Structure 1
Amino acid sequence: MTLSRQAIEELLRAMFPAGGEHFELRLADGEEPVSETESGGVQVRVLLLSYETDGERHIRDVKEQEVYLLNAAERADAARTTAYLRAWARALPAIGRHYGGEVDTLMPLDLFFWEALAEAGVREEADFAALFESAEWLARCCRQRERDVFADEMRYLGVGEHAEQLYSLRRPSIRLVVDAEQYVDEDDRGWQFEDVEEDDAPVGISKIGGLPDLPPGVAWPTIEEHPLSFLAQVRLADLRGLAGAEDLPDSGLLLFFYDADGRTNHDADGKWCWPARHRGGARVIHFEGDPATFVRAERPDDHRLRVFHRYTVERFDGERMMPPMESPFYDVLDDEPHDNPWFFKFSRVAETSEHDPERPIHRLLGYISELQGDPYLEAHRYSTGQDFEGGDRDGAREREILREATKWRLLLQIDSEPGDLLNQDGGYYYFLIHEDDLAARRFDRVWGIAHMH
């Protein structure tokens, strides 16, 4: 029996509103929110409401969209389609949790998973519900949707034949969004907070700057007896559920230190260098345990040590990224990508990040925000002592070096803006780690790279 338009509307009205703690779906206002297409399919106009929940529920945003709900063949199997719709409505809280609980960046279409109707052998409401409540199944659907959208974009750009190659370069990244009210202005820059002795933030939270939280009895990290400046700490539990977080430990605290003055990056004659034993002056340490039980470290007695203004991380946002245009990742796709028309088309419109590029850009994983030079190539060269002949990227030796450089991963990027946090002329500090060391959790093998204007 085929489901009529009227029967579908009655079914949806019985199910809606439906949703989770921070959102719900409703049928749109007006006559006939459910309509038929010329091919016999069904479209529905729906509202997606997102809520603030500070004791009471307040509407934060409303989005309306027309969604293609069913095709003619799916309507013809009334019992199966009804089971699918009922299970989907019941599972909306689980679908919302898959997206992190809040839906500010989503449209109504993103909450519909018609892929379940393509699963052979699934007919009963309980079977559909099991799919919708499976985080693995939802993630697989979202990855395929992302791949399809990317392929469509590449075809539009005229480089569709390279879509799979380019898609293979996309990586998840996690943005650290700090409390904007804590920004310091140009006359009160972060690097001038050298007399900071206290940090009133709760112990064990994610933050940039301030004083680190260490397990009891653990000393402030040093290189050759020089205390390192504390740059950031991440409470790893805050990252759960975000794409890319699986590359990091799932608990404890990850702390980042670096040689802000470059005191250790000089040879015996006082000449600037990048000694491998210092790894660019960077130090990353992972401590297991409950960060709330750690102890706020006291500032070492070293007048040259910089203690930066503390910025509290308000939230972590997921994003997907392509590599910077001048990075070696494109070199390994093509013998001469920068000389080929397809790459020219792609590079003219491609964005390094799908997020708002407004600074500051603090991020875990993904790719660097390009400034000048190539940190991936630098990390590989400094760690191996290899030279690289300038613009010659086509020789066999040079291409092998470029290929090896792509095995380095961004672990953390800290921006100096606003307030010139790093005192380095509006630049970035990158913690990079080889993919093998990241997989083995060998954070003591990171390299620090500073880039500035």
Structure 2
Amino acid sequence: MDEEWTDGMQARALREIAWRYLPDEDAVRWASLLRPGVRLVDEAEAEAEAEDEDVAGAGAGAVAGAVDETGDAAEPPAAARLGGLPRLPDGTAWPTGPAGAPLAFVAAVDCAALPARALDVPVPPEGVLAFFASAPLHGGPDGRYRSGEAGPTPGRVVHIPADAPGSVRTAPPGVPVFPSVRLAARPELTAPFPEHPRVRDAFALHTWEDPYDHPLYGQGFLDELAEHGHRFEHRVGGYAVCAGAVPVEYEAAAAAADADAAGAGGGRAERVGPLAVGAQDTGRAREWVLLAQFQCDPADGVLAAKAPSGGGRRGVLAWLIHREDLARGRFAESVLLRRF
């Protein structure tokens, strides 16, 4: 991780929140859990931000990467791109879900265009990560829109090597194609909320009673943290920005346990509330990390390039992956979760 990304305005603001509301020892411990991530913003928005911050080619601003003028993935995306059509290697079939239904193309991330040393997870140094999800995007497990956790849903991540011969594919009949939006990369630190497994592990918050009187659950700390952590955001790495009481890492671990149980002829693992998780649950959840997340409009079931006006509803498509699978490049093992 580059020190340049850890000393920016966002990093200083997060540390100041900790020192303002937490005892010194707790503030140091919580600040040690901050993780780097790459925020993906509309290129036009990134240029405006760079002008406002007077950042002119100094490396701390947005990183544009290769520009795709076609909007159909014929060239690598800027740093990432929402929507459009994917470029897939020759001989690779269009990704499908477990039942064989074709998935919708959500986004592509150009790994080489991500800022160097801006992540603490081993994404490939080159090539493109292509993300696919079942459509419509607003559907929960039963196909209906619901607020809160929608649980695991069919999705795929495909790593496309930079030198792999391929072509832009036309979407299968009935599969939506979302408008293409080029995104630039902005590296910054991300912060965990108290329910996150890394926080629970660091502060030994494993029982119903542990959190109630802990300074991490003070209203002032939570309110200020929410101003930084509950933003509209597309992101690679770092901590997920998702609604819902149970952090997505616990849900991803439970989904993996469900898959293992199904393979062994068992049933669905029991879900627990955010304050009832034990040390074993936290240990399993810690092994899952955010690969990428993209915002969507849950009312219309489409990708959302910008925050909804007037405080409208927001949805998140979050792909998580086990650390071992990420280290081995097994992106097909990632889990897609939807939060509305």
Same fold (TM over 0.5): yes
Other-structure match for 1:342: 215
Is 2:71 aligned against 1:207? no
Other-structure match for 1:160: 24
Other-structure match for 2:253: 380
Tell me which amino acid in the other structure corresponds to 1:289. A
Other-structure match for 1:105: none
Other-structure match for 1:428: 316
Is 2:274 aligned against 1:401? no
Residue in structure 2 matching 1:410, options 268, 279, 290: 290
Give the drift of 1:344: 3.0
User: CA 1:388/1:446 → structure 2, altered by over 3 Å: closer, same or farther?
Assistant: same
User: For residues 207-227 of structure 1, what are the alpha-carbon distances to aligned partners after superposition, in whole Å with 9 as ceiling and x for unaligned?
Assistant: 111110112332211234311
CA distance in 2, matches of 1:231, 1:366: 20
Helix, strand or coil for the counterpart of 1:433?
Answer: strand
Other-structure match for 1:368: 240
User: For residues 244-289 of structure 1, what are the alpha-carbon distances to aligned partners after superposition, in whole Å with 9 as ceiling and x for unaligned?
Assistant: 0762000011111111248x9979xx9xxxxxxxx63111111212
- Aligned residue pair count: 283
Residue in structure 2 matching 1:306, options 176, 187, 201: 176
User: CA 1:289/1:163 → structure 2, altered by over 3 Å: closer, same or farther?
Assistant: same
Give the drift of 1:150: 6.9
Q: Which has the higher helix share?
A: 1
User: For residues 103-130 of structure 1, what are the alpha-carbon distances to aligned partners after superposition, in whole Å with 9 as ceiling and x for unaligned?
Assistant: xxxxxxxxxxxxxxxxxxxxxxxxxxxx
CA distance in 1, matches of 2:274, 2:121: 36
Give the drift of 1:320: 0.5
User: CA 1:289/1:245 → structure 2, altered by over 3 Å: closer, same or farther?
Assistant: farther
CA distance in 2, matches of 1:440, 1:220: 23
Do 2:6 and 2:189's aligned partners in 1 also have CA atoms closer than 8 Å?
Answer: no
CA distance in 2, matches of 1:319, 1:414: 17
CA distance in 2, matches of 1:148, 1:210: 37
User: CA 1:347/1:400 → structure 2, altered by over 3 Å: closer, same or farther?
Assistant: farther
Matching of residues 78-157 of structure 1 within 5 Å: 139=2, 154-157=18-21
Tell me which amino acid in the other structure corresponds to 1:430. A
Structure 2, unaligned runs of 5 or more: 46-69, 144-151, 259-268, 305-311
Residue in structure 1 matching 2:132, options 228, 252, 257: 257
Structure 1, unaligned runs of 5 or more: 1-135, 182-197, 271-278
Do 1:150 and 1:163's aligned partners in 2 also have CA atoms closer than 8 Å?
Answer: no
Tell me which amino acid in the other structure corresponds to 1:324. F
User: CA 1:140/1:368 → structure 2, altered by over 3 Å: closer, same or farther?
Assistant: closer
Other-structure match for 1:449: 337
Is 2:210 aligned against 1:324? no
CA distance in 1, matches of 2:158, 2:73: 20
Identical pairs, percent = 27
CA distance in 2, matches of 1:391, 1:145: 32
Helix, strand or coil for the counterpart of 1:255?
Answer: strand
Tell me which amino acid in the other structure corresponds to 2:188. E
Give the drift of 1:172: 0.6
Helix, strand or coil for the counterpart of 2:113?
Answer: helix
Residue in structure 2 matching 1:297, options 154, 169, 180: 169
User: CA 1:447/1:412 → structure 2, altered by over 3 Å: closer, same or farther?
Assistant: same
Tell me which amino acid in the other structure corresponds to 2:293. Q
Give the drift of 1:429: 0.8
| Higher Cα Rg, which structure | 1
User: CA 1:211/1:149 → structure 2, altered by over 3 Å: closer, same or farther?
Assistant: closer
Give the drift of 1:354: 5.0
Give the drift of 1:382: 1.7
| TM-score, reference length from structure 1 | 0.54
Tell me which amino acid in the other structure corresponds to 1:169. L
Tell me which amino acid in the other structure corresponds to 2:133. Y
Give the drift of 1:232: 0.6
Matching of residues 259-278 of structure 1 within 5 Å: 259-261=134-136
CA distance in 2, matches of 1:425, 1:319: 25
CA-atom RMSD in angstroms: 3.9
Do 1:174 and 1:242's aligned partners in 2 also have CA atoms closer than 8 Å?
Answer: no
- Higher relative contact order, chain-length normalized (CA < 8 Å, sep 6+): 2
Tell me which amino acid in the other structure corresponds to 1:328. P
Do 1:331 and 1:337's aligned partners in 2 also have CA atoms closer than 8 Å?
Answer: no
Other-structure match for 1:285: 158
Give the drift of 1:353: 7.5
